Amino acid sequence: MISDRQKLILKAIVEEYVISNEPIGSKSLTNKPYLNFSSATIRYDMQHLEENGYLEKTHTSSGRVPSELGYRFYVDNLLTRDEDLKEIYKNIDSILNNKLLTKEIAIEQVMNYVAKTANCYLAIVGSNATYARIKKMELVPLNDEDALLLIVTNSGVVRSQKMKVPKDFKMEDLLRIMSMFDVAMYDQAIYEIRNILEREALKPRIREIVDYRDDILNFMIKGFASFLNNECYKSSMTPLFSQAEFKDYQVMQKFVNAVDDMKVTNLVASKQKGISIKIGKDNEELGLEACSIISTPYYLDLNEYGTIMAVSPVRANYKKIVPIVEYLANKIPKIY
């Protein structure tokens, strides 16, 4: 049990250490307007916090740094959202509302901006459309070899996938097949696509066109299968690697491996409620015990959702990152 005064001291130490990355001493805390206590009193409380596992003492200084327990207590009980983020929100809105940018480019620019601003790595795991229902399907020719497959779901979301047309197959025949599939697919859930495709492909009217070419069916299945996978947007890793903790090659390598193996995004792709903050050992299975993962879901409707995730050192600027991630969760669905 810690007192209200000790909570204030712990809050001050966490937030000061986030900025300075230097052990915090009692004398520096007396300059805080809300810590109007003597250096001796603060020193006594810091000792109490250390004995209870909230602070750690370094070997190179008489100051203290937060422990994982200290960070956990801070985010669960003491975290306040930084109110001075209006300029950041304004810049995010400016990018997302730019009609000259595609959805993909707008999201990419926002992610890199936030990553640089908050010194973190950002990923947006796209909405999972498994249970969404198809309302419209269309194939748009781009040239003789490429086409764009479009699907409109019941939530009004338009999904697209660029596809290569099978060799020696006429585009007009492909458009005819797609028109037939459009009728069969109407109001069907996306997870049922493969079964419907295989069933429809056996019908004489379609077999007559494709002349038993399996590459056509594979073309269709491959195109639709992409809608079952979560799209994922990732920011640059550079802002994260500029943090002192990532000067350690092993820490950097573990993070790169986790991202390359999709372990991080798979971890947060499952449905969750509200903000989640996993600190240090919470991420041990990923080899990211030097990191914190802050994530929150965003919703297009009850069946379509995605996740916004930020990765930072355990020494994260939580009061800045948390509200930005929450803000993005409200804004991203509006550009789908």
Same domain membership, residue 74 and residue 13: yes
Same domain membership, residue 217 and residue 145: yes
- Give counts: helices (H), strands (E), the chain: 14, 10
Q: pLDDT tens digit string along 99-118?
A: 898 888 999 999 999 999 99
Same domain membership, residue 243 and residue 125: yes
Mean pLDDT score of the chain, rounded to an integer? 84
Same domain membership, residue 179 and residue 96: no
Same domain membership, residue 215 and residue 192: yes
pLDDT value at residue 268: 54
Give the separation between CA 50 and CA 279, rounded to whole angstroms.
19
Same domain membership, residue 119 and residue 240: yes
pLDDT value at residue 214: 61
Same domain membership, residue 165 and residue 72: no
Q: How far is CA 157 from CA 20, 59, 151, 296, 329, in A?
A: 44, 56, 8, 20, 16
Question: 230 or 86, which is more confident?
Answer: 86
Question: 225 or 330, which is more confident?
Answer: 330
Instruction: Give the domain extent around 42.
Output: 4-78
Average pLDDT over residues 244-272: 77
pLDDT value at residue 213: 57
- 221, pLDDT greater than 70: no
Q: Which of 92, 105, 114, 115 is nearest to 238 (CA)?
A: 115
Residue 159 tokens, joined: 């999904």
Torsion angles phi and psi, residue 241, rounded to 5: -70, -10
Q: What is the three-class DSSP state of 89?
A: helix
Name the pLDDT band for 227 (thresholds 50, 70, 90). low
Same domain membership, residue 172 and residue 293: no
CATH number at residue 155: 3.30.390.60
Give the separation between CA 208 and CA 202, rounded to whole angstroms.
10
- 285, pLDDT greater than 70: yes
300 exposure class (CB count in 10 Å sphere: 0-12, 13-18, 19+): buried
Torsion sign across C-alpha atoms 235, 237, 240, 242 = negative
Same domain membership, residue 240 and residue 224: no
273 exposure class (CB count in 10 Å sphere: 0-12, 13-18, 19+): exposed
Give the separation between CA 334 and CA 96, rounded to whole angstroms.
9
pLDDT value at residue 291: 95
Question: 316 or 190, which is more confident?
Answer: 316
Q: Quickly tell me which residue has 């995004």 as its tokens.
A: 265
Opening angle at CA 288, ends 287 and 293, nearest 5: 140
Give the separation between CA 102 and CA 330, rounded to whole angstroms.
19
| Residue 318 contacts residue 276 (beta carbons within 8 Å) | no
pLDDT value at residue 121: 95
Domain endpoint, select from 78, 102, 120: 78
Pairing of strands 55-57, 64-66: antiparallel
Same domain membership, residue 139 and residue 51: no
Q: How many Å from the N-terminal Cα to the C-terminal Cα in the chain?
A: 47
Give the separation between CA 178 and CA 269, rounded to whole angstroms.
31
Instruction: Classify each residue of 208-220 as buried b or exposed e, where b means 16 or more C-beta atoms within 10 Å of its C-beta.
Output: ebbeeeeebbebb
Alpha helix positions (H), the chain: 4-20, 26-29, 39-51, 68-73, 86-96, 103-118, 171-185, 193-201, 204-210, 214-225, 238-241, 249-260, 263-269, 318-331
Question: pTM of the prediction?
Answer: 0.73
Name the pLDDT band for 15 (thresholds 50, 70, 90). very high
Same domain membership, residue 109 and residue 248: yes
**Residue 322's beta-bridge partner residues?**
none
CATH number at residue 55: 1.10.10.10
- 231, pLDDT greater than 80: no
* Type of residue numbered 33: P
pLDDT value at residue 162: 75
Give the separation between CA 63 and CA 95, rounded to whole angstroms.
42
Domain endpoint, select from 201, 228, 255: 228
Total count of domains within the chain: 3
Domain endpoint, select from 61, 78, 95: 78
Q: pLDDT tens digit string along 155-211?
A: 666 777 777 777 777 777 777 777 777 777 788 777 677 777 777 767 776 666 665
Pairing of strands 146-153, 158-164: antiparallel
Same domain membership, residue 330 and residue 298: yes
- 36, pLDDT greater than 60: yes
CATH number at residue 331: 3.30.450.40
Give the separation between CA 26 and CA 83, rounded to whole angstroms.
27
